């Protein structure tokens, strides 16, 4: 039974781990490299507990009892009575190896040695010790007192009895443990940092602005924050280091540290902790963003009426939503009505391909006929009487926002003047942070047309996200490879669906697990968009997992 725990390294993470153990009633021996650092660690603990008292979550007597369970010092020799010792020192292999080899001569033979590493090999750390079977990974997430996930990592040398003891200890702490093998990034970081690296590369390549990339994933998917904001919060140096570990282990170029990330780290722009990162902050350690040269200007106020072309439940709902937002709407359902759009600046055309057919509009029919390719062909103005009539009514200066499903590409009409004013858009489901209208831009589309559609989105209360008119646009281009990584991890046998869902929800704060998101999107849609993206770029990480194909053929969700 583990009752006395030693913690080495009393920075923010180490002090948080001390708090977790002490709150759970364990005796804690807290050690750092000097008396001053140990006293600083004690200050971190007292400050954290003081905040809990001020918020009424803890009374003063309980606070004093928790602090009383901890002894602070700078002598590793104090670890001789510990049942488990965990280190939370910087992510450098030589430092961790030195600590554990020193502990070999201090701790009891039955003492478990745990490392809080987020990326280094447990096997390499264990190999440097006299008894590698007792070395285990116990990876907490920051802030440790708040985040429920603990990854328990075994190496091929680990004693399974000790692994089980550590898993049980994590449960005693009120945490949600996930037990996995020793692999780069483990579960949470392997999936999260891969997604962050690709998001950084998307920004670097000009797919979308930093604010639009962040809005795509926060307001478009419902994640706690956008990827670039998260990188600044975690620290760009940390992301850079983990990218290096992942790339060295996998050889996958998509997870290598992007050039812009390396430049920012070299320049000392590490995110919030330095006051500069992908964003600029109003001070060191602050989370308040201030404008800089890369800040995107807000959308201009919408001028005039909005045309709404189409019929069916979705179109009715959009009409009501626009009207409720104070937008004057002109409805059109046939070519005979198009003349009423004269002078309208922007017209939202819903599922343009079906306007001359029998579809009830906007994907509400439940059929599979309105494919991405159909949406493309629907934009051929000359072939569609309704859209041709709309174009004639609004004139060359008017803009058509062609609403489709999933990723869309603008089809050429052969008339550059017309092409410049047809903007493909995708409206996503409403999330707690808002509702995203993705706006595709290409060399054929004028900047004025894109800005007009941004104004429409802002007037409707939607969050406009402008990205290159590529397969997946922005939301799917970032989300679907993330889901594909989860499917590949599951297919490899490294972790179960439950492990992966727990890691991402309990460790990364995702409101939904990756397989929940995958089932909602549909394996067939994820597979299709990934295939389109792979065709465009040739990047190997975009090849759909064979497990996606299996689930499509079996018509089976990932979560039962």
- How much is the pLDDT for 381? 46
Assign residue 543 the CATH number of its domain. Answer: 1.10.1040.10
Contact 314, 279 (CB under 8 A): no
Residue 133 lies in a domain: yes
Four-residue CA torsion sign, 38, 44, 45, 50: positive
- How much is the pLDDT for 560? 80
- How much is the pLDDT for 351? 62
- How much is the pLDDT for 355? 38
- How much is the pLDDT for 372? 32
Task: Report the SS3 class of residue 175.
Answer: coil
- Regarding whether 463 and 345 lie in a shared domain, the answer is yes
**Annotated catalytic, 151?**
yes
**Annotated catalytic, 133?**
no
In the set 48, 116, 118, 199, the catalytic residue is 118
Range of the domain at 240: 187-274
In the set 19, 87, 151, 516, the catalytic residue is 151
Q: Give residue 307's Cα distance to chain centre.
A: 35
Domains of the chain: total: 4
Per-residue pLDDT at 366 exceeds 50: no
Question: Average pLDDT, stretch 270-294?
Answer: 96
Task: Tell which of 274, 294, 316 closes a domain.
Answer: 274
Assign residue 50 the CATH number of its domain. Answer: 3.40.50.720
User: How confident is the model over 398-440, as pLDDT tens digits?
Assistant: 899 988 755 445 545 566 777 788 899 999 999 988 999 999 9
Residue 398 lies in a domain: yes
- How much is the pLDDT for 334? 80
Task: Tell which of 159, 180, 201 closes a domain.
Answer: 180
- Regarding whether 87 and 37 lie in a shared domain, the answer is yes
Question: Average pLDDT, stretch 447-462?
Answer: 95
- Regarding whether 175 and 27 lie in a shared domain, the answer is yes
- Regarding whether 21 and 61 lie in a shared domain, the answer is yes
- Regarding whether 501 and 458 lie in a shared domain, the answer is no
- Regarding whether 54 and 161 lie in a shared domain, the answer is yes
Contact 495, 502 (CB under 8 A): no
In the set 48, 121, 189, 211, the catalytic residue is 189
- How much is the pLDDT for 462? 96
In the set 139, 428, 527, 541, the catalytic residue is 139
Task: Tell which of 125, 157, 180 closes a domain.
Answer: 180
Assign residue 263 the CATH number of its domain. Answer: 1.10.1040.50
The whole-chain average pLDDT of the chain stands at 90
User: How confident is the model over 150-172, as pLDDT tens digits?
Assistant: 999 999 999 999 999 999 999 99
- How much is the pLDDT for 333? 86
- How much is the pLDDT for 409? 53
User: How confident is the model over 49-100, as pLDDT tens digits?
Assistant: 999 999 999 999 999 999 999 999 999 999 999 999 999 999 899 999 999 9
User: How confident is the model over 378-387, as pLDDT tens digits?
Assistant: 344 444 567 7
Per-residue pLDDT at 267 exceeds 90: yes
For residue 345, name the pLDDT band (cuts at 50, 70, 90): confident
Residue 369 lies in a domain: no
- Regarding whether 191 and 310 lie in a shared domain, the answer is no
Percent of the chain's residues with pLDDT above 70: 91
d(CA 328, CA 340): 13
Residue 109 lies in a domain: yes
pTM of the prediction? 0.89
- Regarding whether 449 and 488 lie in a shared domain, the answer is no
Residue 126 lies in a domain: yes
- Regarding whether 242 and 173 lie in a shared domain, the answer is no
Residue 366 lies in a domain: no
DSSP label at residue 246: H
d(CA 116, CA 47): 22
- Regarding whether 192 and 99 lie in a shared domain, the answer is no
- Regarding whether 167 and 135 lie in a shared domain, the answer is yes
Q: Give residue 218's Cα distance to chain centre.
A: 8
Contact 322, 375 (CB under 8 A): no
Residue 288 lies in a domain: no
Residue 91 lies in a domain: yes
- Regarding whether 28 and 107 lie in a shared domain, the answer is yes
Give 161 or 397, the one with higher predicted confidence: 161
């Amino acid at each position: 039974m583990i009752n006395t725990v030693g913690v080495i390294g009393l920075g923010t993470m180490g002090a948080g781990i001390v708090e977790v153990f002490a709150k759970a009633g364990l005796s804690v021996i807290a050690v750092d490299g000097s008396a001053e650092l140990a006293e600083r660690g004690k200050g971190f603990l007292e400050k954290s507990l003081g905040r809990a008292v001020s918020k009424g979550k803890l009374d003063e007597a309980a606070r004093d009892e928790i602090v009383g369970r901890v002894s602070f010092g700078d002598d590793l020799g104090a670890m001789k009575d510990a049942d488990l010792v965990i280190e939370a020192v910087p992510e450098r292999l030589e430092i961790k190896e030195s600590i554990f080899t020193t502990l070999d001569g201090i701790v009891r033979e039955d003492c478990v040695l745990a490392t809080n590493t987020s990326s280094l090999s447990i096997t390499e750390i264990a190999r440097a010790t006299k008894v590698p079977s007792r070395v285990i990974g116990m990876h907490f997430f920051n802030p440790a007192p708040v985040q429920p996930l603990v990854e328990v990592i075994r190496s091929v040398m680990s004693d399974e009895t000790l692994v089980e003891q550590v898993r049980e200890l994590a449960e005693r702490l009120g945490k949600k443990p996930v037990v996995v093998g020793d692999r780069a990034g483990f579960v949470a970081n392997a999936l999260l940092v891969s997604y962050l690296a690709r998001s950084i590369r998307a920004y670097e390549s000009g797919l979308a602005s930093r604010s639009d990339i962040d809005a795509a994933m926060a307001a478009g998917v419902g994640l706690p924050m956008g990827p670039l904001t998260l990188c600044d919060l975690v620290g760009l140096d940390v992301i850079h280091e983990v990218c290096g570990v992942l790339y060295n282990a996998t050889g996958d170029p998509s997870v290598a540290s992007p050039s812009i990330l390396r430049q920012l780290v070299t320049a000392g722009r590490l995110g919030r902790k330095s006051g500069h990162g992908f964003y600029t902050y109003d001070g060191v350690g602050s989370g308040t963003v201030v404008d800089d040269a890369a800040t995107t200007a807000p959308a201009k106020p919408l001028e005039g009426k909005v045309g709404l072309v189409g019929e069916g439940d979705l179109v009715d709902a959009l009409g009501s939503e626009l009207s409720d937002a104070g937008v004057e709407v002109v409805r059109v359902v046939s070519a005979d009505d198009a003349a009423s759009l004269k002078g309208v600046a922007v017209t939202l055309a819903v599922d343009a391909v079906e306007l001359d057919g029998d579809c009830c509009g906007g994907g509400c029919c439940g059929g599979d006929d309105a494919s991405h390719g159909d949406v493309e062909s629907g934009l051929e103005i000359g072939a569609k009487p309704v859209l041709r009539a709309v174009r004639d009514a609004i004139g060359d200066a008017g803009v058509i926002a062609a609403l489709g499903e999933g990723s869309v590409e603008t089809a050429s009409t052969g008339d550059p003047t017309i092409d410049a004013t047809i903007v493909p858009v995708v409206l996503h489901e409403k999330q707690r942070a808002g509702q995203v209208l993705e706006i595709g831009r290409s060399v054929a589309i004028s900047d004025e047309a894109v800005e007009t559609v941004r104004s429409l989105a802002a007037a409707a209360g939607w969050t406009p996200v402008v990205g290159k008119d590529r397969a997946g646009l922005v939301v799917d281009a970032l989300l679907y490879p993330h889901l594909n990584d989860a499917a590949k991890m599951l297919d490899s046998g490294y972790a179960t669906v439950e492990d992966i869902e727990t890691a991402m929800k309990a460790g990364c704060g995702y409101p939904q697990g990756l397989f929940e998101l995958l089932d909602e999107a549909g394996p067939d849609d994820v597979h299709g968009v990934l295939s389109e993206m792979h065709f465009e770029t040739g990047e190997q990480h975009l090849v759909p997992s064979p497990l996606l194909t299996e689930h499509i053929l079996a018509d089976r969700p990932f979560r039962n």
